[in-house]
Amino acid sequence: MSGFTKNIVSTDLAPEAVGTYSQGVEHAGVYYFSGQIGLDPKTMTMESDFQSQIDQIMKNIDGLLESQSLTREHIIKTSIFVTDLGNFDLVNKAYVAYFSEPYPARSCVQVPALPKGALVEIEVIAAKK
């Protein structure tokens, strides 16, 4: 793959990877960030309630973005994984609180389980303007 470059994102502004993956990868100005759960990057602990996890996830996402001189305005797509689709209204409230129109594209699916017992995980794709 001559000429193909991918740059690895690594920052202490978000939790370190808890598996065999990178915090993010950039290629051709597009940033693919790994899913974030509500782990505090300093303590690697997580609160047990859904809203606290969403709040920490957004701090983690902000850290990833900041490490690359990006902001939430650069996010073009989010993928949200929840262990209970009954929390969908809370996801919508968080979207309004953390994003402004025009909102990024989004998918939201229920999954049977998430790493470390998390209730929600969010991954984002961002692009330089």
Point out the catalytic residue in the list 25, 90, 108, 127.
108
Q: Per the domain annotation, does 72 fall within a domain?
A: yes
Supply 56's token pair.
């920490």
Summarised one tens digit per residue, pLDDT across range 82-119 is 999 999 999 999 999 999 999 999 999 999 999 999 99
Residue 1 lies in a domain: no
Residue 34 sits in which domain range? 7-127
- Annotated catalytic residue 108: yes
Instruction: Give the pLDDT confidence of 11-64 residue by residue, as tens digits.
Output: 999 999 878 999 999 999 999 999 999 999 999 999 999 999 999 999 999 999
What's the total number of domains in the chain?
Answer: 1
Per the CB < 8 A criterion, the answer to whether 39 and 53 are in contact is: no
Q: Are 50 and 90 in contact (CB under 8 A)?
A: yes
CATH value at residue 104: 3.30.1330.40
Spell out the residues 6+ positions from residue 92 whose beta carbon is closer than 8 angstroms to its own.
Answer: none
- Asked whether residue 40 is domain-assigned, the answer is yes
Residue 21 lies in a domain: yes
